[in-house]
Structure 1
Amino acid sequence: MSEFDFNDERDRKRFYRSSNWLKLRQEVLKRDHFECIECAKKEGTVTTTEDATLEVDHIEEIKTRPDLALDIDNLRTLC
């Protein structure tokens, strides 16, 4: 069971400030070469931090799948 209640906005904010999340976020950005994977796949373009603000997105939402909150395979870089 997670220490965070992802249905509670305050707990979600606390999660996104946690050292575990911040470290994993950097790993995902590095894995995805600091590029939006959707732009690269769908449009054949490269969107980087120089072009847009990049977000690390949960594929399966944490509200419904809190067990995947820190699963790197459930994360992707988007712009």
Structure 2
Amino acid sequence: MSPFSDSKLISIGQAAKMTPYSAEYLSLLARKGRLKAVKISRDWLTTEAAVKEYVQKQLKKHQKMMQALERRAV
């Protein structure tokens, strides 16, 4: 059973168009379990919500690193 039972699934290619990431990179993230996705036949599928969640996590991580660098520079 899919963890996305109430959500519309989109292809990794569609997800890539919503992000600065390539389809290949998103596929890698899906295989490693870092992006919530499900494999159906040969294709990885995810949801817009899962993609947005991943992008937001990455933005927060980047912001924390930038703040740490700024503190060190002062």
TM-score, with normalisation over the residues of structure 2? Answer: 0.26
**Greater fraction of residues in helix:** 2
Greater RCO, CA 8 A, separation 6+: 1
Larger radius of gyration: 2
TM-score, with normalisation over the residues of structure 1? Answer: 0.25
